[in-house]
Amino acid sequence: MTQAAELLTVENLNVEFDTYGGVVQAVRGVDFSVAAGETLAIVGESGCGKSVTVQSMMGLIPMPPGRITQGSARLRGQEILGRSRLQGREIRGAQIGMIFQDPMTALNPTMTIGDQIAEPLQVHRGLSRAEAAREAIRLLEVTRIPEAATRAKQYPFEFSGGMLQRAMIAMAIACKPEILIADEPTTALDVTIQAQILDLLQELQRETGMAIILITHDLGVVARMANSVAVMYAGKVVERGSVDDIFYRSAHPYTLGLKAAMPSNDPTREQSLQPIEGSPPDLFSPPPGCGYAPRCPHAMKVCQQQQPLETALSSAETGRPHGSRCWLHDADSPFKPAELHFIESGGEAEKGAIL
């Protein structure tokens, strides 16, 4: 992907939080970019910094206790970090929409669904109350909610989980944003509804050309939706590349561990799931070396002592760089990168097995 094609570029983003126990270094030098019409998946286990990364970019973390200590986020070349909540209104909702993780708590229980969708239309697009109400009903129809005119007059408690998620999507796309951030959009939904929500997002992307930043820990969703992937661990992006690079040419032991822990519907794979032993590091006092080293089956002495730099790797012919922050890919490493694998009894999980 060339620089000219990039819609959003985030470089060296660092975010901290002051707490009674000390300073939590939640995000530590994150870099990624996304182009128009592309889906970027940010993957990692709970607490790795996925949501904080995008919320800080949107100006949604409370300051204090949070603060952005370093970094840049540019939307079409315009810096968007460091804006106040009031200044950020021209970005939030208008140019970047967001689907929050839990729609039941993200929506206002005292307002009807229609009024909540209509509000950003009045604020950002200058529609009258009547025009915004009509557009809210149309958006509910677009997101496949039946009897939209009736449903628009109802409150969040009258909606099922899947319908609430659709209402959140309607609100997020109301102002035709260039980027849609979907933070765990299928959490707590059953498998059938999950598939419907993902299909809806892809259909809206094809119609509008918007970019999607998908935050998830579900590699099945990643395989289905993403063009490129950033794998996060302990506040850092440890591997990034095209979706094919991440699934077929995994280069970081953490990525391999995530794949080995995935369930599979492949009848030829008769093996139990392989959990990643141990816990993530304490981000009150991050380790001087690689954060994954205490859990890594391939860790070397240098992994405990120094942070690895990103190593550029050979990539599929997609135009997207493939890189891994791992000492195993250093020129002086005693291991050959081609031999890297998660220590388990069977083969690696395959992308096709989880679609």
The pLDDT tens digits for 46-93 are 888 899 999 888 888 888 898 999 999 998 888 888 765 545 567 776
The CA R_g of the chain, rounded to the nearest whole Å, is: 21
Smallest CA-to-CA distance from 179 within 301, 315, 58, 2 is with: 58
Q: Report the C-alpha gap between 30 and 35 in whole angstroms.
A: 17
State both tokens at 152: 């628009």
Alpha helices in 30-70 (DSSP H): 50-57
Residue 18 pLDDT:
92
The answer to whether residues 33 and 9 touch, using CB atoms and an 8 Å cutoff, is yes
Please name the amino acid found at residue 146: P
Q: Report the C-alpha gap between 196 and 139 in whole angstroms.
A: 16
Segments of the chain assigned E as strands: 6-19, 22-35, 39-43, 66-75, 78-79, 96-99, 179-183, 211-216, 228-233, 236-242, 310-313, 322-325
State both tokens at 242: 């095209």
The answer to whether residues 268 and 352 touch, using CB atoms and an 8 Å cutoff, is no
Residue 5 pLDDT:
64
The answer to whether residues 16 and 235 touch, using CB atoms and an 8 Å cutoff, is no
How far apart, in Å, are the Cα atoms of 171 and each of 68, 90, 116, 193? 28, 16, 7, 19
Using DSSP, how many helices (H) and how many strands (E) does the chain show? 11, 12
Q: Report the C-alpha gap between 222 and 242 in whole angstroms.
A: 11
* Contacts (Cβ under 8 Å, ≥6 apart) of 218: 186
DSSP three-state, residue 319 = coil
Average pLDDT, 10 consecutive residues per value, the chain (355 residues): 67 93 92 92 90 87 88 88 63 81 83 92 87 92 90 92 87 88 81 83 89 89 90 93 88 88 67 79 90 88 90 69 88 68 39 30
Residue 31 pLDDT:
92
What end-to-end distance do the CA atoms of the chain give, in Å?
26
Torsion over CA of 272, 253, 350 and 187, rounded to 10 degrees? 80
DSSP-derived letter for residue 116 is H
What is the spatial order of strands in the sheet that 78-79 belongs to? 22-35, 6-19, 66-75, 78-79
DSSP three-state, residue 201 = helix
Count of residues in the chain: 355
DSSP three-state, residue 27 = strand
Domains of the chain and CATH, by start: 35-57+86-95+178-355 (3.40.50.300), 104-176 (no CATH)
Q: Report the C-alpha gap between 221 and 39 in whole angstroms.
A: 11
Please name the amino acid found at residue 172: A
The answer to whether residues 24 and 17 touch, using CB atoms and an 8 Å cutoff, is yes
The answer to whether residues 1 and 320 touch, using CB atoms and an 8 Å cutoff, is yes
Q: What predicted TM-score, i.e. pTM, was given to this entire model?
A: 0.86
Residue 350 pLDDT:
35
State both tokens at 273: 């799931």
- In a 13 Å sphere around the CA of 280, the CA atoms on its Cβ side amount to 17
What residues form DSSP beta bridges with 313?
A: 322
